[in-house]
Chain A
Amino acid sequence: MKKLFKMVAALTALCFLGIFQTAQAKDLTGELEIFSWWAGDEGPALEALIDVYKKEHPGVEVINATVTGGSGVNAKAVLKTRMLGGNPPDSFQVHAGQELIGTWVMADRMEDLTPLFEEQGWMSVFPEGLIKLIGTDKGIWSVPVNIHRSNVMWYIPSKLKEFGIEAPKTWDDFLKVAPMLKEKGIVPLALAQNWTANHLWESVALASLGAKKWDALWSGELAFDSPEGVAVWELFGKVLEYTNDDASSLSWQQATDMVVDGRAAFNVMGDWAAGYLSTTKGLAPGTGFGWEASPGTGGEFMFLADSFGLPKGVKNLDNAKAWLVTLGSKEGSDAFNPLKGSISARTDSDLSKYNDYAKSAAADFAKDTIVGSLAHGVTANEGFMNDFASVMEMFLKSKNAQMTAKAAQQIAVKNGIAK
C-alpha cells in the first residue's frame, strides 16, 4: 500500500512538474538511492558529496548502495540484475564513454540529460571534447564527476638517484636503461594483476600510435591487425620483458609498494596511485614520489571519468535530478575530487583545494590532447573489454604479436568497433 501510494505520488509529481523542470529545493522529500562501487578509501569522497546534497535537500533520505569487490564486476552484476528486473536505482555510477553508451544507451535505458546540461550552463563549463565522449548524436547521457589520468609513470626520486638514472621520456629511453636495472636485480617496471597489463598496454599503444591513430583505432578507421597495430604488440612485448614475472598475483598497491621499497624502478598506473602514495604511504608529492607522463605520451592526457546517469523509470525522479545537479556543481565537484584524488571535470574548479599532484594534472588537462582510456571504459564497449581480457591472456601466454593483433581485430569486428 505504501509503495502504491509512493508511486501515485511520484506520478502526480511528474505530471505537475513536467519532466525536466527542476523542483524547488526545499520541497524534495522521500528517498534517493545512489548506486556505486566506491567504498574503502573512496568512501569518504562520496560521503562528502552526499553531505553537500543533504545540506541542500535536508528532506531527502539518501541511500548509499555500494557494491564493491572484484574490480567492479560485482557492482555490474548487481546493477544489471536490478535493471533487468525492472528495479533501477535512482542514479548509478558508470565509467563515462562507451561503457555507459554501449551497454545502457544502446539498450534505451537512460534519460537524455541535454536539457539539464543546458539549464545548468554545463555546456560551457565542461570541456567540449569531454561532452562529445559522454554523448552520442541523440543526447548527453551522464554527468561526469571526476577526471583521472591513465598514462602516468610513478617513481621515487631518491631511489632513481641511487640507481643513477632519470625518468625516461620515451620507451626507447626506457629500453636503454632497463637492462642495466635488471642486472642490478631491480625490476625496471612493476606490473600487477591482469587489468594492469591492459592499463600498461594502452599507455604503450598511445606512445606507439600517437593520439590520432589511437582515435582511429576506435572509430574503426585503423585495423588492429594493420602494421601499426602489430607494432604496438611488438613494443608491448619488449616492455613486458622488463616487468616482474609474478605480476598476476599482485594487486596494484603491491606493485606500487615495489617501487616505494626500491625493488622496482617505475610503475605505470592511473593517478589514483597519487592518493595511495601520499595518504597511505605518507610520501610528499614531488619530493617523496615523482611522476611523468608515461614514456612517449608527453602532451597527451589519457583520461577516464566516473559519471552518474539517470535511468528511465526511476522511483524518485526529482531527487535524482537534484543529485545530478549537485554532482555537476562547482561546490559538489570541489568537495568530492580533493578527497578522491582526482581532478574536477569542470574547467573553473577552485585549485587551491587540491594537492600538488592534482594541480599539475589539472594544468595538463587544460593544455594536453585528450584521448580516452580503453582499460577504464571510455573507448570500447563492455563486450570488447571482456574479450580483450582473453586476447591479453593470449598474448601473455604466447607473446605472438601477429596472432594477437589478428585476434584483437576479430573481437573488434564482433563487438561492432571495426567494420
Chain B
Amino acid sequence: MKSKVNIKTVSYYATLGILVIFFLMPAYMAVVTALKQPGDITLPTSWDLPATLNWASFSEAFAMLRPNLVNSFILTICATAGSTILGSLNGYVFSKWKFKGSEIIFTLFLFGMFIPYQVILIPLFQTLRAMNLYGGLPGLILAHIVYGLPITSLIFRNFYAQIPDSLIESARLDGAGFFSVYLKLVFPLSIPGFVVTSLWQFTQIWNEFLWAITLTRHSENPITVGLANLAGGQAVSWNLPMAGSIMAALPVLCIYIFLGRYFIRGLLAGSVKE
C-alpha cells in the first residue's frame, strides 16, 4: 500500500517537474544568451552556458532603455487606473442599475474587445491628432483606457453580480444614493476585482507595441519601442535584446510574483458565478 502511494506521488511530482522545465526553458535561454559575448552566440551552442559572463549587456541595455522605462511606468499606471475605475463604475451600473437597453449597451461594449489594434490605427491617429493629443503620452493613455473598457466592464459586471441585490436594497432603504452605495458598500468589496483587472490591464498596456510606436513621439516612446530598437537593424548582437527583454519583463514579473496569490483569489471572487 505504502509503495503504491509513493509511486503515485513520484509520478505526480515528476509530471510537475516536466511542466516546470517546459515553462522555464525559454527563460533559461534568454538569460544564458544575455550573458554571452556577442561573437559567441550561435544556434548550435544556444543551450551552452557562457564561457565568460558578460554582465555589460545589462548595463548597456539599461542605459538605452531608461527613458523608455519611465514613460512606460507613467503610461501604464495612468491608463490602468483610468480603465479600471471607469470599468468598475460601468460594471456597477450594468449589474445593479439595469435600465431599459442596458443589456444591449453592455453587449455592444463587449464587441469592442474584438477589434484588432492595427485595424483602427489610421482613424485613431487622425482622431487623436484632431483632439491635439498626438505625440505625447496622454493620447496613448486615452486610447488604452477606451479599449480597456470592454474587458474591465465585463469583469466588474460579473464580479458585482454576486453581491446580493438585497444588500443594495437595504442600503438604499437606509437612504443611501447611487454614489454612496458604490463608495460605502460596493467599492470596499471589490478590491479583489481591482487586483484582477489591474493586473490584466497592466500586462496588456505594458506590452503593447503597435500603438506605442505610432502614437508617440520619440522622446515619449514606451519600453516596447525601445526594445524593438534594440532588436532592430540589419546586424544584431542578440545579447542586448535578450538583456533588454529580461529588464522589460521584470516589473510585470515582480507584480505577478507578489500579487499572484491575490490574482487567483480575485479571479475566484470575480468569475466563478455569473
Contact = CB atoms under 8 A, between A and B. Distances in A.
Q: Is chain B in direct contact with chain A in the complex (CB below 8 A)? A: yes
Interface of A: 33, 37-43, 63-69, 74, 77-78, 81-82, 84-87, 251-254, 257, 261, 272, 275-276, 279-282
B125 A39 contact: no
Given A40-B234, A41-B235, A87-B134, A78 B39 contact: no
B213 interface: yes
B43 A41 contact: no
A2 to B, nearest CB: 12
Contacts of B237: 40-41, 280
Q: What 7 pairs between A and B have smallest CB-CB spacing?
A: A68-B232, A40-B233, A69-B228, A41-B235, A39-B229, A65-B218, A276-B235
B230 interface: yes
28 contacts: A37-B232, A39-B230, A39-B233, A40-B230, A40-B232, A41-B234, A41-B236, A63-B217, A65-B217, A66-B232, A67-B213, A68-B231, A69-B231, A74-B210, A77-B118, A77-B214, A78-B214, A82-B214, A85-B129, A87-B134, A253-B235, A257-B42, A257-B43, A261-B44, A276-B234, A276-B235, A279-B235, A282-B39
Contacts of A38: 233
A43 B217 CA distance: 18
Given A81-B122, A81-B214, A68 B134 contact: no
A281 B118 CA distance: 38
Contacts of A40: 229-237
B115 to A, nearest CB: 16
Contacts of B125: 81-82, 84-85
Interface in B113-143: 118, 121-122, 125-126, 129, 134
B50 interface: no
B219 interface: yes
B131 to A, nearest CB: 12
From DSSP, what is the main secondary structure of chain B's interface residues?
A: helix
B134 A85 contact: yes
Contacts of A42: 233-235
Interface string B15-43: 00000000000000000000000110011
A275 B234 CA distance: 10
Contact of A81 (B43, B121, B218, B229): B121
From DSSP, what is the main secondary structure of chain A's interface residues?
A: helix
A41 B237 CA distance: 8
A87 B129 contact: yes
A14 to B, nearest CB: 22
Contacts of B44: 261
Contacts of B43: 254, 257
A281 B217 contact: no
Nearest to B129: A85
A270 to B, nearest CB: 9
B33 to A, nearest CB: 13
Of B43, B234, B236, chain A has the most CB atoms within 10 Å of the CB of B234
A42 B38 CA distance: 16
Of B44, B233, B237, chain A has the most CB atoms within 10 Å of the CB of B233
Given A67-B225, A69-B228, A279-B235, 7 more contacts: A39-B229, A43-B233, A69-B231, A84-B125, A253-B235, A257-B42, A276-B234
Contacts of A68: 228-229, 231-233
Contacts of A272: 234-235
Contacts of A82: 125, 214
B162 to A, nearest CB: 43
Interface in B35-64: 38-39, 42-44
A70 to B, nearest CB: 8
